[in-house]
């Protein structure tokens, strides 16, 4: 039963993220054809993350009380309808509105699907379960742009947007006919409140980790194409460089999720993040396609090590604090990082130069790790004791 439910959630998350990835490569071109300035291009991209960041915690909290399935269905219907509006956007204003409501639909589907998966995860198997869901996300991120670029080259703008609706429809019918309703199996201690959740030191640490992770990855991925092109790397090679580490992260999510269930999650988060941080600061020293690709692959390996463990810890804490609200906050933290990343990186590029983006991103990542250690009370102690396998939620 749980394996069937997990499969449906996998398809739902993959379809949602894959659909978003399809339009990723052509969104700047589409916005430019509507006369978008650089500022408006930033607004168009940010509007998606803004609506996600605002709504994910709220929707997640409500789903703790009223069930998950109905919200996933509503989100998929909204996703389907909004996807059909992209080709009809005739101005930067309407395109911004479409992006905003598309973020709204995504905010309903993703965190609640993750909360549902967390509910069905067995004690001590949170890493494997959430690694499976993470795999669906990263697989969608990696494969979507490849299909989107191919559809655009062969068929033009409009055709690119229709697979979004088709994928949403497929996921909708799978959820409608095969996914049972799910409410929180374990009632949170007291009423669910964001204030109460954010008092938990583990959640504070995980949110900082999530923000910093998105800051580093978002900033790098926004400016890697510029850095690569200035190094004489072709557009095709840039596409390969961007997709390869994402697909690697997808393939490694389940193995490292299983590993996180058997070993110390704190250590995995710290070690994976350090690998990613070192890769960041070495990027400006790379020379050519192969060296840069190798560094991005190593960065992807670091994320593959740390992400399943971090998501599993969020689930373990969320089962006591309110899983929907907790996963909403966890994902909202990523949106905050994705909103800030291109803005901060652009400012650094204008003032300090392109190479400084990677040095500053590495420094920010290291500081973020220090904050994570600080909020993870007794982190070194629980590391020695092996907390994070099956023993229960983190201490406050």
DSSP output for 139-180: HHHHHHHHHHHHHHHHH-HHHHHHHHHHHHHHHHHHHHHHPP
> What is the tens place of the pLDDT at every residue in 254-265?
999 999 998 888
Under the banding of pLDDT at 50, 70 and 90, the label for residue 135 is very high
Q: 219 or 63: which carries more pLDDT confidence?
A: 63
pLDDT for 187: 54
Q: Give the separation between CA 280 and CA 320, rounded to whole angstroms.
A: 36
Under the banding of pLDDT at 50, 70 and 90, the label for residue 174 is very high
pLDDT at 292 over 80: yes
pLDDT for 380: 38
Under the banding of pLDDT at 50, 70 and 90, the label for residue 395 is very low
pLDDT for 183: 55
pLDDT at 94 over 90: yes
pLDDT for 36: 78
What is the mean predicted confidence (pLDDT) over 196-209? 84
At a CB cut-off of 8 Å and minimum separation 6, what does 167 contact?
A: 15, 16, 18, 19
Q: Give the separation between CA 265 and CA 4, rounded to whole angstroms.
A: 27
Q: Give the architecture-level CATH label for domain 192-396.
A: Up-down Bundle (1.20)
Q: Give the separation between CA 241 and CA 224, rounded to whole angstroms.
A: 9
> What is the tens place of the pLDDT at every residue in 326-342?
888 888 888 888 777 76
pLDDT at 372 over 80: yes
pLDDT at 377 over 70: no
Cα–Cα distances in Å, from 133 out to 15, 128, 139, 210, 254? 12, 9, 10, 16, 9
Domain ranges of the chain: 1-181, 192-396
Q: Which two tokens stand for residue 307?
A: 């992400």
What is the mean predicted confidence (pLDDT) over 239-255? 85
pLDDT for 330: 87
pLDDT for 384: 40
| CB atoms inside a 10 Å sphere around CB 123 | 12
Q: Which two tokens stand for residue 114?
A: 């993750």
Which of 202, 299, 217, 303 lies closest to 253, judged by CA?
303
Q: Do domains 1-181 and 192-396 have the same CATH topology?
A: yes
Under the banding of pLDDT at 50, 70 and 90, the label for residue 199 is confident
pLDDT for 258: 93
pTM of the predicted structure, to 2 decimals: 0.79
Mean pLDDT for the chain overall: 82
Q: Give the separation between CA 120 and CA 124, rounded to whole angstroms.
A: 12
> What is the tens place of the pLDDT at every residue in 211-243?
887 877 666 666 777 788 788 887 667 777 777
pLDDT at 396 over 60: no
pLDDT at 11 over 90: yes
Percent of the chain with pLDDT over 90: 20
pLDDT at 204 over 90: no
Superfamily of segment(s) 1-181: MFS general substrate transporter like domains (1.20.1250.20)
pLDDT at 393 over 50: no
């Amino acid at each position: 039963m749980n394996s069937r439910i997990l499969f449906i959630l996998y398809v739902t998350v993959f379809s949602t993220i894959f659909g978003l990835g399809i339009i990723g490569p052509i969104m700047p071109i589409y916005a430019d054809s509507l006369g978008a300035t650089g500022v408006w291009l930033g607004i168009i991209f940010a509007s998606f993350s803004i609506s996600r960041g605002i709504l994910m915690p709220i929707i997640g909290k409500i789903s703790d009380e009223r069930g998950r399935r109905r919200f996933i269905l509503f989100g998929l219907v909204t996703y389907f309808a909004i996807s059909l509006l992209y080709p009809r956007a005739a101005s930067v204003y309407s395109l911004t509105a479409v992006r905003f409501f598309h973020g709204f639909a995504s905010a309903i589907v993703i965190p609640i699907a993750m909360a549902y998966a967390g509910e069905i995860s067995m004690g001590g198997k949170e890493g494997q379960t959430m690694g499976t869901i993470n795999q669906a996300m990263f697989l969608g991120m990696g494969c979507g742009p490849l299909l989107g670029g191919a559809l655009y080259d062969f068929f033009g703008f409009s055709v690119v947007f229709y697979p979004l609706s088709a994928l949403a429809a497929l996921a909708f019918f799978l959820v409608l006919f095969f996914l049972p309703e799910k409410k929180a199996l374990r009632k949170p201690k007291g009423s669910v409140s964001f204030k109460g959740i954010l008092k938990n030191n583990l959640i504070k640490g995980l949110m900082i980790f999530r923000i910093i992770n998105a800051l580093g990855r978002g900033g790098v991925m926004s400016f890697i194409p510029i850095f690569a092109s200035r190094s004489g790397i072709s557009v095709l090679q840039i596409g390969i460089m961007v997709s390869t580490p994402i697909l690697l992260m997808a393939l490694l999510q389940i193995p490292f999720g299983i590993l996180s269930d058997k070993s110390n999650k704190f250590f995995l988060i710290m070690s994976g993040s350090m690998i990613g941080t070192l890769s960041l600061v070495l990027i400006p020293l790379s020379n050519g396609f192969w060296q840069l690709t190798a560094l991005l692959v190593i960065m992807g390996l670091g994320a593959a090590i740390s992400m399943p463990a971090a998501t599993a810890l969020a689930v373990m804490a969320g089962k006591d604090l309110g899983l929907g609200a907790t996963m909403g906050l966890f994902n909202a933290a990523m949106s905050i990082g994705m909103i800030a990343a291109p803005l901060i990186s652009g400012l650094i590029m204008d003032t300090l130069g392109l190479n400084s983006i990677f040095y500053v991103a590495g420094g920010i990542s290291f500081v973020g790790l220090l904050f994570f250690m600080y909020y993870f009370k007794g982190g070194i102690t629980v590391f020695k004791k092996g907390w994070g396998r099956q023993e229960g939620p983190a201490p406050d």
